A and B are shown apart, each in its own frame.
Chain A
């Protein structure tokens, strides 16, 4: 999928002939395939924002030209498209890698060729160890575990059961949660999984419910899995708190799981999910409501956290390009690393030489589903 946002650019270029410069931005996203859940809103977000930016005069008077490819979630394709973006399309920066797999395939190349790269994937291994040219916008799955365990601890929960998806998102978060559980004095007494397309998880949930001493259940996963788990949870009448992850990231989840089944589900989310009910003095209020309104009008579907990651990556890139004042990849990278206090939908970003994520736990908000809608509990 290659979308070149040149409508305005073309007209301007015709008028100004060759004098008009442009900034080439590349993206490789999983707009189709098993990770389309992530890549589809991300692609729509980037296309929308580029159009918007150019309509408002671009960066320092230069239009941004976006070259966007659909890697279908396949790391091999992602690597080929990254090569194409760098070698053939001559982009000065790349956004993308919807999944950890595709990100890792791009990261090596971007870092080696000296092209600044902002990933939209979760795993902590993307930015730890820090690579000179590699940044990312989403919270790590480790942070999500920490946020959830903090809440569990506050509720006096010490023994939990886990049911995780076997896709990249679920498996990675499952491992991270098991890793940090000890820090919060939490024991994982039951550890079950399900496949990405599974239609019924009652056997796994029955085993969890029959394990002695379980006080709460955590479900790391995204896509249809969490909706089916939540429905099965209600079907079995399990009377324990259910925690979902940040992979459950839009109103679509409440619709799919059904408001009754989803009632009382807790999860760490971003400001974007509760944009409408944020207090007016919340620093993220403006950016979250603006993006939500624009996206929902343009795409005709509910805004999701994932699209928000792309929004933030683009905002970071534009900010860095503006400050760099050149289209030299090295300058853009340096400007990117100097980002300080940029407010996005996910949180407030401050990068440094040792931190290419730039978010802390404070940006995560613990949410609960009440009466078919979101409410913040801290």
Chain B
């Protein structure tokens, strides 16, 4: 860790609170909220990929479960959206525990293809069960109701502003929990695991159990991110669970620096902003995006934040 837990959290909190002062229009709140949602999912991947050293190419599947829990539960079960978020977390955690046990025995690319298969299965169910999910055209999501509650209390906020703050606060909580985990006994064991599974098991660490824990925790992060996305968009399609979304969040994690929460958030910031900036390149957008991914990985193989930090340290 670069600095202590509280400094990192304080910097994050100040940034979230101060940035709106620079926003020229409501569109920037939307981008901010998207960054926070992505950063939340990516924080989960830091735990799984960065600390436990496992790979996942299907994590968007859990985001899909969280998103559709918020779409389906209020409509069919009459649950409040907040309860639906929790329901999504429970389902994601349960499913992760169920499939994690056999899947996590696999290594490297084999684990990659297994998780990828999981993501594709989730997408397929969401796409095909039209009667429930609206199929590929998607379905609308009930409102959270908090904004209306605030309005009744005399506080009026626009949707964009509300979701900026809501997602920002959830991200802060997520980052705080992740940093607590990092400094706990479990966190230390996880990092030992990343170093060498064999060595970790010889000093009495229950390796399969620990990997499963990391998998379940990261699944819950993705699920909450999916829920927040569904609620703020008010509309959801199976794309949220798709392969490209899985790749997107892994790329964010690795680009920023998969070992640290702050690095991961930086990755989310860059990859969320990049497509918005690249619109000026018109047809060259994909070309530039691909080139950026390659160049960062070549020149800063450990990700932006760790590489920059290492460079700063080297200088007196």
Which A residues contact B (CB, under 8 angstroms)?
A: 1-3, 32, 69-70, 73-77, 79-80, 83-84, 86-88, 99-101, 104-105, 108, 112, 123, 125, 166-168, 171-172, 175
Q: Take A69-B279, A75-B233, A167-B136 as given contacts and tell me if A101 and B25 are in contact as well, using a CB distance cutoff of 8 Å.
A: no
CA distance A69 to B127 in the complex (A): 26
Contact A104 B138 (CB under 8 A): yes
Total residues of chain B contacting the partner, CB 8 A: 34
Residues of B within 8 A of A73 (CB): 239
Closest to B229 in A: A76
Contact A83 B30 (CB under 8 A): yes
Contact A168 B135 (CB under 8 A): yes
Query: What 0/1 pattern do residues 209 to 247 of B give for CB contact below 8 A with A?
Result: 000000000000000000001000111110110000000
Which B residues contact A (CB, under 8 angstroms)?
A: 24-28, 30-31, 34, 127-128, 130, 135-138, 140, 159-160, 229, 233-237, 239-240, 275-276, 279-280, 282-283, 285-286
Closest to B135 in A: A171
Contact B239 A172 (CB under 8 A): no
Closest to A107 in B: B235
- Taking chain B's interface residues, is the majority helix, strand, or loop, or is none over half, making it mixed? helix
Contact B282 A105 (CB under 8 A): no
Contact B282 A3 (CB under 8 A): yes
Chain A nearest CB, measured from B2 CB (Å) = 31
Closest to A75 in B: B237
Contact B27 A1 (CB under 8 A): no
Contact B25 A88 (CB under 8 A): yes
Contact B128 A87 (CB under 8 A): no
Contact B283 A1 (CB under 8 A): yes
Residues of A within 8 A of B276 (CB): 80, 84
CA distance A123 to B130 in the complex (A): 14
Contact B233 A1 (CB under 8 A): no
Contact A172 B135 (CB under 8 A): yes
Residues of B within 8 A of A88 (CB): 24-25, 27-28
Chain B nearest CB, measured from A354 CB (Å) = 22
Residues of B within 8 A of A83 (CB): 26-27, 30, 160
**A-B interface, 6 closest residue pairs, ranked by CB to CB distance from nearest:** A87-B27, A168-B136, A87-B26, A88-B27, A2-B279, A100-B137
Chain A nearest CB, measured from B312 CB (Å) = 33
Closest to B240 in A: A76
Contact A101 B128 (CB under 8 A): no
Q: B130: which of A1, A125, A171 is its contact (CB, 8 Å)?
A: A171
Residues of A within 8 A of B239 (CB): 73-76, 101
Chain B nearest CB, measured from A148 CB (Å) = 20
Q: Supply 19 further A-B pairs (C-beta < 8 A) apart from A75-B138, A171-B135.
A: A2-B279, A3-B282, A70-B285, A76-B240, A80-B31, A80-B34, A80-B276, A83-B26, A84-B27, A84-B276, A87-B27, A88-B28, A101-B137, A105-B233, A125-B137, A166-B128, A168-B135, A171-B130, A172-B136
CA distance A76 to B24 in the complex (A): 22
Residues of A within 8 A of B229 (CB): 76
Contact B127 A166 (CB under 8 A): yes
Contact B282 A168 (CB under 8 A): no
Chain A nearest CB, measured from B282 CB (Å) = 5
Contact A104 B140 (CB under 8 A): yes
Of B137, B229, B237, the most chain A CB neighbours within 10 A belong to B137
Contact B237 A101 (CB under 8 A): yes
Residues of B within 8 A of A1 (CB): 279, 282-283, 285
Contact A80 B30 (CB under 8 A): yes
Residues of B within 8 A of A32 (CB): 286
A/B interface sample: 17 pairs, CB < 8 A: A1-B279, A3-B282, A69-B279, A73-B239, A75-B235, A76-B34, A76-B240, A83-B160, A88-B27, A105-B233, A105-B235, A108-B140, A167-B136, A168-B137, A171-B127, A171-B136, A172-B136
Chain B nearest CB, measured from A91 CB (Å) = 12
CA distance A84 to B239 in the complex (A): 21
CA distance A80 to B240 in the complex (A): 14
CA distance A175 to B61 in the complex (A): 25
Contact B137 A104 (CB under 8 A): yes
